[in-house]
Amino acid sequence: MSAPLAMAADARGLRLLGAPLRGPGAVQGESQFQNPHIIRYDANCFTINGRDAFIFSGAFHYPRCPRALWRDRLVKFRRAGLNTIETYVFWNYHEPEEGHADLGEFEDFIKLVKEMGFWMIARPGPYVCAEWDAGGFPHWVVAKRFPLRSNHPDSLKTSKHWFNQVLPVIQRHQVTMGGPIIMMQLENEYDYWKLPDGEKKEYVRALAQMAWNAGIDVPLITCWTKQVRERSDADLARLMDTCNFYPRWNIQKEVPPALNKLRHEEPASPLGVTELQGGWFSEFGGKLSVDQDGVVGAQLNLITKTVIEQGVTYFSYYMGFGGTNFDWAAKRLTTTYDYAAPLREPGGLWEKYYAARGIGVSLGLLGSVLARAQAPEQATQSTNKDVSVSERVGGQSGAVFVRENANQEQRFKMSFQDSASPTHRTITVPRQGELTLGPREMKMLPVQVPIPGSQLRYTTAEVAGYGLNLDRHFLIVYDEPGRAAEVAFATQQEPEVEGDALYQYWDEDYESVTIGLRIEKAEKILLVNNHLLLVAIPRERGLRSWTAEFPPSVVPGAEETKPMTVP
């Protein structure tokens, strides 16, 4: 968790979003991975079972949720598009009395995570923070009164004792053993613990050696642990450090500089964010989480798209689901650990969940593009100084990021690179009029991305869904009512567009049709070349619209052999 809560313990204080690997020769540093054919990473992303992966994760602490509700929460994570679950493993929860450890609940949770099709990130500490009593250290450890989180012999001895209990569980459920665990974190935000660098290095090294000796062969990570960024140390160079971010609205000042620093200091690792602000906790005498500033759905949308724009290919919302502080584990904090997370404490869905789901839909379309995407040399442009435009390109596809920077509504045109053009031609949109962005709004827009039944050249409205419905494909886009939007498709013939379009252009040289339309409060449907339905709907409805896939055998009158997708 956050630095202010990284207190001294003695004060008690799998749907894959990825693409096939292009070839083994492109991978650097495989020797640091024991099973590189199963899992490894490079400067861009993780590669799991031969496919480049975009890790979209949420934190879920199983002790903060009744076991009977685990499945419900995981179903909702899945339907938001997440592919990974992250959890702490609290030492004092599993071994409140010395020598009497029970990891059965943790193992049951791992099994359910796998059953539900997720990957998993395990964070066993020994210190974890998490607004949890003593940061997870049992009271019987604290009572021994040796320097915690240090390379003191007693600290190493007790850390090894805990690892001897928890690591065998993690080891047998690693992805290399057929399980869901793809990485394990050592310690937690160690930068904020006051010890000399030399001692910190030796403690982290000792924890890593314990893990490797116990058969942990998935990547080991840390967060806010600058000692791991020392690339001249052979052991520490095998670890991957990451950032945690809780900036509320101060996103641009805090996030890009920290990620640039991480990229400079960890050039061989993908940019990762172990804790991306999913809300904040509540304390006695303070505001409840949902009443605090800077933890709403619009902030989640802005911070998430900002880290993706910066090249992050692994992030986890802290929290994805907060839950409840039962019994003894969170002194000074409220019983509710709702956290204003995307999933509320009772399991309800609210605007923040739908913001996360919108990002999940976009990553379903763009995850494989973004895993190895780079910023093109050709600059993007905006006609409005308060609107920034950037682009990331992977192969012949890309994503354009558009951000409002002055906290008020803006109108503008923008230009970006056509990622599929051999000449890297510039596309300027819209053809007529201007686009609109609201205060602090940010969009992540696909460019030259294949969709069922067509090639999406670009869209200035975000994508809510796509698929095949009987004999017609469909694309659903959304934006605020009253705004103009522009969508372009590939077509080799002069297009036929039926419906209420503002305008349309046929570019024979580039085999493209560009369609202008206005978003209304009710849905608007256009038919392109008699086989592609373009459906435009308002944002609120778009984020709450779902698609379901049915086999043709259950659809009356279906003549297709492919599954039918119903929006």
| Distance, CA of 506 to CA of 509 (rounded, Å) | 9
pLDDT at 307 over 60: yes
pLDDT for res 14: 44
Q: Which of 187, 189, 391, 441 is catalytic?
A: 189
| Distance, CA of 327 to CA of 284 (rounded, Å) | 16
Q: Which of 131, 266, 275, 391 is catalytic?
A: 275
Tell me the CB-side half-sphere exposure of residue 323, using CA atoms within 13 A.
Answer: 28
Return the structure tokens found at 300: 């989640």
Residue ranges in 266-350 assigned as alpha helix (H):
297-309
Clarify whether 275 is annotated catalytic: yes
Read off the pLDDT of each residue in 331-341 and give the average, rounded to a whole number: 96
Return the structure tokens found at 195: 């010890």
pLDDT for res 331: 86
Nearest to 64 by CA among 100, 90, 84, 82: 90
Read off the pLDDT of each residue in 214-219 and give the average, rounded to a whole number: 98
| pLDDT tens-digit readout, 130-184 | 999 999 999 999 999 999 999 999 999 999 999 999 999 999 999 999 999 999 9
pLDDT at 213 over 50: yes
Mean per-residue pLDDT of the chain? 93
| pLDDT tens-digit readout, 479-513 | 999 999 999 999 988 999 999 999 999 999 889 99
Report the Cα 362 to chain-centroid distance in Å.
Answer: 11
The β-bridge partners of 174 are 181
pLDDT for res 547: 84
CB-based contact 125:9 (threshold 8 Å): no
- In order of start, what are the domains of the chain with their CATH numbers? 3-370 (3.20.20.80), 381-566 (2.102.20.10)
- Specify the 3-state DSSP secondary structure of 362: helix
| pLDDT tens-digit readout, 283-296 | 999 999 999 999 99
Tell me the CB-side half-sphere exposure of residue 385, using CA atoms within 13 A.
Answer: 0
The β-bridge partners of 479 are 538
Q: State the pLDDT confidence band at 549, using cuts at 50, 70 and 90.
A: confident
The sign of the torsion formed by the CA atoms of 241, 77, 463, 405 equals: negative
Residue ranges in 173-215 assigned as alpha helix (H):
197-213
Report the Cα 81 to chain-centroid distance in Å.
Answer: 9
pLDDT for res 550: 76
Q: Which of 60-74, 368-382, 417-431 has the highest mean pLDDT?
A: 60-74
| pLDDT tens-digit readout, 430-444 | 999 999 999 999 999
Read off the pLDDT of each residue in 532-543 and give the average, rounded to a whole number: 97
Return the structure tokens found at 463: 């994508």
Residue ranges in 83-174 assigned as alpha helix (H):
91-94, 104-115, 139-142, 153-172
Read off the pLDDT of each residue in 86-104 and give the average, rounded to a whole number: 98
Q: Long-range contacts of range 18-25, CB-CB < 8 Å, 24 or more positions apart?
A: 18/45, 18/47, 18/48, 18/51, 18/52, 18/53, 18/54, 18/367, 18/368, 18/371, 19/51, 19/52, 19/368, 19/369, 19/371, 19/372, 20/50, 20/51, 20/52, 21/47, 21/50, 21/51, 21/52
| Distance, CA of 390 to CA of 502 (rounded, Å) | 27
DSSP 3: G
Clarify whether 345 is annotated catalytic: no
Choice between 410 and 21, residue whose per-residue pLDDT is larger: 410
For 128-139, b/e burial (b = at least 16 CB within 10 A) is: bbbbbbbbbbbb
pLDDT at 554 over 80: no
Give percent above pLDDT 70 in the chain: 93
Q: State the pLDDT confidence band at 559, using cuts at 50, 70 and 90.
A: low
What is the pTM (predicted TM-score) of this model? 0.93
| Distance, CA of 476 to CA of 498 (rounded, Å) | 16
pLDDT at 396 over 60: yes
| Distance, CA of 483 to CA of 386 (rounded, Å) | 18
Read off the pLDDT of each residue in 39-60 and give the average, rounded to a whole number: 98
DSSP 136: G
Return the structure tokens found at 520: 């209304």
Backbone dihedral angles phi then psi of residue 344, each to the nearest 5 degrees: -75, 165
pLDDT at 88 over 80: yes
pLDDT at 326 over 60: yes
Cα-based distances in Å from 112 to 67, 76, 306, 346, 365: 11, 14, 32, 20, 27
Spatial CB neighbours of 187, under 8 Å, sequence gap ≥ 6? 125, 126, 127, 149, 203, 204, 207, 222, 225
pLDDT for res 558: 60
Q: Which residue has the tokens 């002194």?
A: 331
Cα-based distances in Å from 238 to 42, 174, 184, 261, 419: 12, 18, 13, 19, 35
CB atoms within 10 A of CB 15: 14
DSSP 120: E
pLDDT for res 23: 38
* Max Cα distance, the chain (Å): 80
pLDDT for res 5: 32
